[in-house]
Amino acid sequence: MAERYYTVTWDQLHRDAKALSWRLMSLGPWAGIVAITRGGLIPAAIIARELDCRLVESVSVVTYDEEKRGDPVVTKYPTAAGDGRGFLLVDDLVDTGTTARVIRKLLPHAHFATIYAKPAGKDIVDTFITEVSQDTWILFPWDTEPQFVPPMARKA
C-alpha cells in the first residue's frame, strides 16, 4: 500500500471540482462531457452544472480484478462523444496513466481534465488542479466513512 495518504472531504472535492470548472470555462463551449467511471462521475456532475453542459456520457475501463492489476478492458464505450472533438473528458485522478492512455486512444480530440494528478500520468492530462506524489494514496469521500478515532495519547 502507499506510504502517504491524502484524505479528500466532500467539501474539498466540491471546491476542487469548481476550481477545475473555472479553468475549463474559457476553453469551451463544450459539446458534452465524458465521465470516466467510477471516480469521474461526481466531478463530472459538478463540472456539468458549473459549465451548464447537459450532455454527459460515460466510459468505463476495468484494470483491476479483485486487488490484482490486469490489462485494461473497455466495458462501456462513450458512443455519443465520437472521437472526442468538442468533448471534455473528466476523471477524479490520473495515477499511472494506464486507464488514461486507453481512453486517449478512444477520444484523441477530447480535452482531458482531472482534479488530481500524479507524476507518472500527468503528461496525459490537459488540465488538472492538484499534483500529488506518486506514493500518495488519495482517500476519496466515497471510499471512506467518518468514525471515532481515539486520542493520540491513548494510543501511546
Cα–Cα distance measured from residue 6 to residue 104, given in angstroms and rounded to the nearest whole number? 27
Residue 28 C-beta-side C-alpha neighbours within 13 Å: 21
Q: Which residues are catalytic?
A: 91-92, 95
Q: Which three cell numbers stand for residue 104?
A: 486517449
Q: Which three cell numbers stand for residue 121?
A: 500520468
Cα–Cα distance measured from residue 92 to residue 17, given in angstroms and rounded to the nearest whole number? 9
